[in-house]
């Protein structure tokens, strides 16, 4: 029977400590409540356990390394592996042990055991600020000032050691039983690990992480980085909601200032402090904790009235194109660009359904990260050269898209070719199936609970979106290089795609065609991938047959880049990402549903399968949670190449083996 949890068993003796309970688990570690058996004192013990790179052995104690991958040397600049992360985990412990302040959780000890490492900290009675905010929504000014009286001196002590917290948020501000607030769960090691991993699930805290944490690797950080997070926490305390994610604030900041939202309920001094702390540009924030404390203690002055809103011309309901007073490049054609194949119009009877009115997609988030680079650099020229062409090529929608002819009633296996991109789609008939995996399935995870799901019929791309097809939207996109192998061939699937970029592509294509393109939901993806199968994969229990059905980590790929996990025993001659449609299709006529590149779905990650798998996340909700990748990639270990495997990560994560395919709504 498969183990339900990756945690140490309750009652296990870890050196002189006995494990009593699990306090929490994230993408890079597990925290336990424990008791010192000799002293009978309680402690909190954090275990290094990166879920992407490790697993618990059959003894339910020892941790084994490198089971879910890492990035190649060319991607990360050095070998990314379990040991590399372990060293940084221990280094964080050494630094924290040197911080002696009542406002910072005390590190008692750290050590290596069971193939991993542990940090022993004081256990405190109380509750995190996040729990308090969930109950009370906002805090009084007296409560906020008392909070700052604890947090700011603690941060100042941390910064004095040349260290940053990097993960300040309500969940990491712990209110003790005596009413004092302390800092817990520092994020520096996690930041370093995440930048070299396939998953950045725990790297950014949406709404609380400043723009430099999204864009800069070790540069541009400073006390102002933590100050942004403090300001975001304060914004939550005075408004009852967390700020929207930093990349969404770059071009046209939709965040209402605290001085406007909460005017009259708090002093102008406090509200001005909040708004300055959460400035998008780092240089606009307080540059030190001392400067922030000085502003907090300044005498109150009335806030100036907000300026009247600018007069806007009447907005055409169908026109959402942003007009910027900057010249656009007249010609996006690149020298040496390959001539594009002109696809003839498909037969009338194979046209997809009539278009419906398009949703108003807030595409600003999709290009926010790109624009943020310009913000940090202070470069109008960057905006002129890169951001504006992106807006020009992909942001606008057609006011009155032409209506294509009505199709005949779609039949299973029927194809439709989208004329502009040449993308082939196949009709997936409606049906019901058992989503998830049984407990007996080899390699299954606890988040794959089997349950019945029914889906409506839909069109789905026969293959993953290719470089050539994506290039119609963004001709400057680069899928990169893998171990000296270029990944930009026109028939290879597009890579290095974040969720926002995938959604932006669907919106662009919808706007150009008048049809309703989107990413598949988790349920649609698994239903289409299975095509009626109840096995874990098309090759079932015979790994020697895997090379017939998918581009996976086989003997050929192992020779290209050896990883410290087992490869499939077969060999297909394909060392890196393969041209789409090279392997055997499933019964619906879909190619590469497993392997090649991992595919974004539109669903927000729902660990309990409580309905999120059947719907799309709101693309305009910039601060949304994690999204789900399906199908695994050509670099993944064998147990991940299953229909039911789910990989949650943040929308902004872009890796060399992340791509997508489209769904067209009937």
Q: What is the predicted pLDDT for the residue at 81?
A: 61
Give Cβ neighbours of residue 100 (< 8 Å, ≥ 6 apart). Answer: 106, 157
Alpha-carbon span 389 to 310, nearest angstrom: 26
Span 437-455, pLDDT tens digits: 998 998 888 889 999 999 9
CB 129 within 8 A of CB 138: no
Q: What is the predicted pLDDT for the residue at 213?
A: 81
Per-residue confidence at 187, pLDDT binned at 50, 70, 90? low
Q: What is the predicted pLDDT for the residue at 3?
A: 44
- φ, ψ of residue 569 to 5 degrees: the values are -75, -10
Residue recorded with tokens 């495997």: 645
Span 573-618, pLDDT tens digits: 888 899 999 999 999 999 999 999 999 999 999 888 988 999 999 8
CB 48 within 8 A of CB 91: no
Q: Dihedral through CA 504, CA 505, CA 508, CA 513, nearest 10?
A: -140
SS (HEC) of 449-506:
CCEEEEECCEEEECCCCEHHHHHCCCCCCCCCEECCEECCCCCCECCCCCHHHHHHHH
Instruction: Tell me the mean pLDDT in the region 478-501.
Output: 91
> Which SS3 state, helix, strand or coil, does residue 14 take?
strand
643, 554, 541: which is closest to 599 by C-alpha? 643
Quick one: what percent of the chain has pLDDT higher than 90? 46
Q: What is the predicted pLDDT for the residue at 402?
A: 37
Q: How far is the first Cα of the chain from the last one, in angstroms, to the nearest whole number?
A: 43
523, 388, 393: which is closest to 454 by C-alpha? 523
If you write DSSP's letter for every residue of 544-585 in order, what string do you get?
A: GGHHHH---S-HHHHHHS--SS---S---S--SPPPTT-S--
Between 14 and 367, the higher pLDDT residue = 14
Residue recorded with tokens 């300044």: 298
Q: What are the tokens at 43?
A: 């402690």
CB 634 within 8 A of CB 582: no
Span 220-238, pLDDT tens digits: 788 999 999 999 999 999 9
Q: What is the predicted pLDDT for the residue at 238?
A: 96
Q: How far is CA 636 from CA 71, 122, 341, 640, in A?
A: 10, 38, 34, 6
pTM over 0.85: no
507, 470, 500: which is closest to 320 by C-alpha? 507
Alpha-carbon span 200 to 220, nearest angstrom: 20
Span 108-133, pLDDT tens digits: 899 999 999 999 999 988 899 999 99
Span 374-414, pLDDT tens digits: 555 554 444 344 343 433 343 333 333 333 333 445 766 68
Average pLDDT over the chain, rounded to an integer: 79
Alpha-carbon span 575 to 560, nearest angstrom: 6
Span 319-328, pLDDT tens digits: 232 222 223 2
Instruction: Tell me the mean pLDDT in the region 312-323.
Output: 34
Q: Please report the sign of the dihedral spanned by the C-alpha atoms of residue 292, residue 293, residue 298, residue 304.
A: positive
526, 509, 514, 661: which is closest to 596 by C-alpha? 661
How many other C-beta atoms lie within 10 A of the C-beta of residue 196? 21
How many other C-beta atoms lie within 10 A of the C-beta of residue 425? 25
């Amino acid at each position: 029977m498969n183990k339900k949890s990756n945690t140490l068993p309750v009652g296990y003796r870890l050196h002189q400590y006995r494990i009593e309970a699990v306090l929490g688990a994230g993408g890079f570690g597990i925290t336990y409540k424990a008791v010192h058996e000799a002293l009978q004192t309680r402690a909190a013990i954090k275990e290094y356990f990166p879920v992407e790179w490790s697993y618990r052995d059959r003894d339910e104690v020892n941790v084994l390394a490198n089971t879910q991958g890492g990035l190649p040397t060319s991607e990360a600049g050095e070998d990314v592996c379990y040991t590399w992360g372990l060293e940084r985990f221990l280094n964080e412990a050494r630094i924290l042990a040197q911080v002696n302040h009542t406002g910072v959780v005390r590190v008692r000890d750290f050590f290596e055991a069971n193939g991993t490492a542990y940090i022993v900290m004081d256990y405190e009675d109380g509750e995190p600020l996040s729990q308090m905010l969930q109950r009370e929504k906002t805090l009084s000014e007296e409560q906020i000032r008392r909070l700052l009286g604890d947090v700011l001196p603690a941060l100042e002590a941390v910064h004095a050691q040349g260290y940053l917290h990097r993960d300040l948020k309500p969940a990491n501000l712990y209110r003790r039983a005596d009413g004092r607030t302390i800092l817990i769960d520092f994020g520096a090691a996690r930041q370093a690990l995440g930048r070299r991993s396939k998953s950045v699930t725990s790297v950014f805290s949406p709404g609380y992480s400043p723009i430099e944490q999204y864009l800069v690797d070790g540069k541009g950080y400073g006390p102002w980085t933590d100050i942004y997070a403090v300001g975001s926490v304060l914004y939550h305390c005075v408004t009852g909601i967390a700020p929207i994610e930093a990349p969404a604030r770059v071009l046209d900041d939709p965040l209402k200032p605290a001085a406007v939202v909460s005017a009259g309920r708090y002093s102008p001094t406090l509200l001005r402090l909040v708004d300055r702390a959460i400035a998008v540009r780092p240089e606009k924030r307080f540059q030190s904790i001392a400067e922030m404390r000085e502003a907090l203690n300044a005498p109150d002055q009335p806030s100036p009235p907000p300026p009247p809103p600018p007069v806007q011309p009447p907005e055409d309901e169908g026109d959402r194109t942003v007009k910027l007073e900057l010249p656009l490049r007249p010609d996006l054609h690149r020298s040496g660009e390959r001539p594009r194949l002109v696809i003839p119009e498909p037969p009338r009877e194979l046209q997809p359904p009539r278009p419906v009115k398009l949703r108003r997609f807030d595409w600003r988030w999709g290009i926010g990260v790109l624009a943020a680079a310009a913000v940090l650099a202070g470069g109008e020229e960057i905006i002129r050269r890169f951001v504006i062409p992106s807006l020009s090529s992909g942001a606008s929608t057609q006011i009155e898209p032409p209506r294509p002819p009505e199709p005949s009633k779609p039949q299973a296996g029927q194809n439709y070719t989208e004329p502009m991109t040449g993308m082939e789609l196949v009709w997936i008939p409606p049906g019901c199936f058992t989503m998830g995996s049984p407990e007996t399935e080899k390699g299954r995870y606890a988040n794959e609970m089997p349950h019945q799901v029914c889906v409506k019929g839909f069109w789905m791309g026969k293959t993953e979106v290719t470089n050539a097809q994506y290039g119609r939207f963004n001709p400057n996109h680069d899928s990169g290089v893998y171990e000296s192998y270029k990944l930009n061939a026109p028939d290879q699937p597009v890579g290095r795609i974040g969720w926002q970029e995938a959604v932006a592509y669907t919106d662009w294509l919808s706007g150009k065609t008048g049809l309703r393109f989107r990413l598949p939901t988790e349920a649609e993806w698994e239903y289409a991938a299975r095509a009626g199968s109840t096995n874990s994969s098309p090759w079932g229990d015979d790994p020697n047959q895997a090379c017939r059905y998918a581009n996976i980590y086989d003997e050929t790929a192992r020779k290209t880049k050896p990883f410290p996990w087992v490869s499939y025993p077969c060999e297909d001659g394909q060392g890196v990402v393969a041209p789409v449609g090279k392997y055997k299709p499933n019964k619906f006529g879909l190619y590469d549903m497993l392997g090649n590149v991992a595919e974004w779905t539109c669903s927000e990650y729902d660990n309990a399968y409580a309905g999120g798998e059947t719907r799309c996340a709101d693309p305009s909700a910039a601060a949304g949670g994690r999204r789900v990748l399906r199908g695994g990639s050509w670099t993944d270990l064998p147990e991940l190449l299953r229909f039911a495997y789910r990989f949650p990560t943040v929308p902004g994560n872009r890796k060399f083996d992340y791509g997508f395919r489209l769904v067209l709504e009937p």
